[in-house]
Chains A and B, each alone.
Chain A
Amino acid sequence: MAITTLLVLLVVALLLGIAIYNKLTRLRNAIANAFAQIDVQLKRRYDLIPNLVETARKYLQHERETLEAVVAARNQAQAAAGKARADLAGAGNVAALGAAEAALGGALGKLMLVVEAYPELKADRNMREFAEELTSTENRVGFARQAYNDSVLEYNDAAMQFPANLVARLFSFHAAATLQSTQSAAERNAPAVRF
């Protein structure tokens, strides 16, 4: 009798464990998917920047450093994104991407300040379209991060609650890191695409 009870309890515990394991796996995959979405938007931003620089270069002959800083920051951010994509859980990869993105944001902000001083560049039709595209891209990155953080929150909540935390410990479901929207003072001054 006692053995039967024990067996039933064991089976129930096993089934529960499987259910929890599956749920955690699903949530972890959702995080990877959400990150991929950010990645898509970051790529849009990387694609946009060379053309922005190309348009601006015609007018900004004397601002070569500013433009080069933007291009360099863009390349760095692109490299960091590649690394983070390859190994999402890798130590500091996501944080490094955040920092690189922040630097890119700072460089872009500087460029936009320079643009302010060139009325004919501001009036350039391409430039105006880029400004809208850039605003939109910033928003997209923001919304994608928001979605990523939402999914991280859901995953962490699920993995830390009892009894799921036992399963999480057993199968090493580590807590995922949310993307901080402001990691540095530079990023807090987000690129002002204001005209």
Chain B
Amino acid sequence: MRFRQHQNQARAATRRLLLLFLLTVLLTVLAVNLVLALLWSLQTGNLLAYPRWFFETNSVLCAVFILGGSWIETVQLRRGGAHVAQMVGARELLVPGDGYEQRLRNVVEEMAIASGLKTPRMFVLDRDQGINAFAAGWEQNDSVVAVTRGALERLNRDELQGVVAHEFSHILHGDMRLNMRLIGHVWGLQLLFLLGRDLFGATDARDRRTAFVFMGLGLMVVGSIGWLAGRLLKAAVSRQREFLADAAAVQFTRQPHGIGGALRKIADQRAHGHAAMRSTRAEVISHMLLASDIFARVGALATHPPLAERIRRIYGRPMASLSSVIVPAEVQAPPPAPDMLMAFDGADAAAEGEVEMARPGSPPVIDAEATAEPNESWAAPAAPSSPADWLEDLLSIAWPHDLAPATLAFLVPGEGSPEHRAWCALFAPSDSGRARHLLAQAWSLPASRHQAAFERLLTRCVSLPPSERVQLRRHAHQIVRADGRLGFAEIWHCLLLDHMLEQRHESVLRETHYLTLQDCASAIVTLTDLLVTQRRVGQADLASLRKRWRGEMAIALELESFETAVAGLALPVVERATQRLARLSWMLRPRVMKAWCAMALRDEPPNLQSAQSIADALRALCILVDTPMPPQLQARYPQQDGLPGRS
């Protein structure tokens, strides 16, 4: 087949490239030797007398440096396409969050059929409004396709298909391997340049001789030659592959308007000065992108042929650019209007409900059939026997709109509560049978597994697109505040939801300065007070009990005393306290946690229910401050319900 021929060509190109790379290395080594020899003779004034092993040492060091650099980067890249995608900040598309993402998943699967390849993993670059995409991976098996948010929103279905087909061509023709190798090699050559720059720049040291500065300068010059050569190689190979991929995209989709339209929209974005990629490491993968950025070097250094030329080859004649505005709902055909898919909120739902009532003779939305056989629905397969299975099923389904209702179902305490009404207002009017089914399933979970199930759903929600995450949090606060007050369980649920969906822990991780116990004293007091209040809810001697607990905490943590004033127990105060505690030193966090658990779980609480709620609170706290569960807390939960791991 032609594909195989292309692959062989790509392999031959890779071999040629390797040869050229080795040649460049050799030249670089020679140049380094020349520079050093020159420097040596300038220093000693003798043109021919060099120390023993002078050239050998130089050559070996230089070669080790370049090849080592290439090798390290290649090893990094060997970790697969997913690694490259994550490197530039892409989010894996596990559960399609909205109509756009559902469409992407479908389009990728369609192209997998058309090209006869396995479906690659999909990634989305959320923050990029420029239309772009890339494929990465070492093998066809671990390939990934990443698409920017801009491409999802600004292309119609056919154009998205063209773009995906273009990337599939890169996968099929073995370009990814070539691309990855190029990244590694060029990096190795660049390393020499960087070393030279460091040597040249480091002039402040006392005993630094001018020779070092000259050496640095020399290395820089030599290194930049190598680097330039690498870039030339990279660009020359890449340009041909782009034409091939454009042609293959037309072949797969059997129409030029898909990829052609996408390129014309990119041309429009260029004309309006839209940057192609925002990621800081985007430069590294510039030659893998669908279209490289606006500052792309012209001529021999450009990794992509000019857009106009690509468009001309696709259509056979020059074409004007297309407007690249976000595709609005009305013109969005044939797929459903994605904007409308997302615009599902309370107001919308209420309006739908009214339409239902207004139609005479029509059955109510919740007709007998829908409630009697909710399992017949394709999306919600036959009801599994146990609640745990239900959770597994829910987590394995691909339907995006079940995730939010199911997660928020855990915020609803029971039938007929204000929270229940709020939840129903948000989710039930449009799809009552299934939504109610979800709620019933959530309630049927045993209390001891409630918290774990909520956490697991939240870990899945993390992969939703940002807009959906924001909406989910807004809905959660709506439900929780439905009855005008905050229960203890609600406080913990809210904290957990905000913590996990905001991915605040990432910023905490980057924090280099950790706090001491004394710094966190007031945070510890606040949370201790909260735990005491929750445990002895409705009991009289709260004040004395608080005092006792504070005292015990002070002893357990070997602090002077805990007589800090606490500013009430409002949600923001508690939130700040947990955030502060999350900055406590790694080694100290388990100690605080242990002290709390020892106290809270020591004497039997009033009843079983409150024992569970206090355990759930401690469990949530473990996640919030990012520390493992102490053994006595762990023992209260079924074996399989461990804390969700941080990825």
Contacts and interface: CB of A to CB of B under 8 A. Distances in A.
Interface stretch (A90-98, A132-140, A169-177): A132-140
A51 B106 contact: no
Q: Most chain-B Cβ atoms within 10 A of its Cβ — which of A47, A51, A136, A143?
A: A143
Contact of B110 (A57, A59, A129, A136): A136
B333 A194 contact: yes
Contact of A131 (B107, B114, B161, B335): B335
B110 A140 contact: yes
Interface in A125-149: 125-126, 128-129, 131-133, 135-136, 139-140, 143-144, 146-147
Contact of A132 (B99, B252, B363): B99
Contacts of A146: 114, 254
Contacts of B334: 131, 135, 192-195
B198 interface: no
B344 A125 contact: yes
Interface in A41-73: 41, 47-48, 50-51, 54, 57-59, 61
B355 A120 contact: yes
Interface string B75-113: 000000000000000000000000100110011011101
Contacts of A135: 106, 157, 334-335
B363 A58 contact: yes
Interface residues of A, number: 34
A129 B335 CA distance: 9
Nearest to A122: B336
Contacts of A59: 362
B327 to A, nearest CB: 14
Contacts of B377: 51, 54
Q: Most chain-A Cβ atoms within 10 A of its Cβ — which of B334, B355, B370, B377?
A: B334
B116 interface: yes
Q: Most chain-A Cβ atoms within 10 A of its Cβ — which of B1, B99, B111, B113?
A: B113
A123 interface: yes
B450 interface: no
B21 to A, nearest CB: 37
A136 B109 contact: yes
A45 B107 CA distance: 16
A182 B495 CA distance: 58
Given A120-B356, A194-B333, A195-B334, A132 B344 contact: no
A116 interface: no
A136 B107 contact: yes
A132 B157 CA distance: 10
A67 to B, nearest CB: 13
A143 B113 contact: yes
Contacts of A50: 378
A154 B1 contact: yes
A120 B116 CA distance: 39
Interface in A162-195: 192-195
B430 A147 contact: no
Given A57-B369, A132-B99, A194-B333, 6 more contacts: A120-B359, A123-B340, A132-B103, A143-B110, A154-B1, A195-B336
For the complex of A and B, list the 9 residue pairs with the smallest distance between their C-beta atoms, beginning with the closest.
A51-B378, A136-B106, A128-B336, A143-B114, A143-B113, A139-B110, A131-B336, A132-B335, A194-B334
Interface of B: 1, 99, 102-103, 106-107, 109-111, 113-114, 116, 157, 161, 252, 254, 333-337, 340-341, 344, 352, 355-356, 359, 362-363, 365, 367, 369-370, 376-379, 399, 401, 430-431
11 contacts: A48-B378, A58-B370, A126-B431, A128-B341, A131-B335, A132-B102, A132-B103, A140-B109, A143-B113, A147-B116, A195-B334
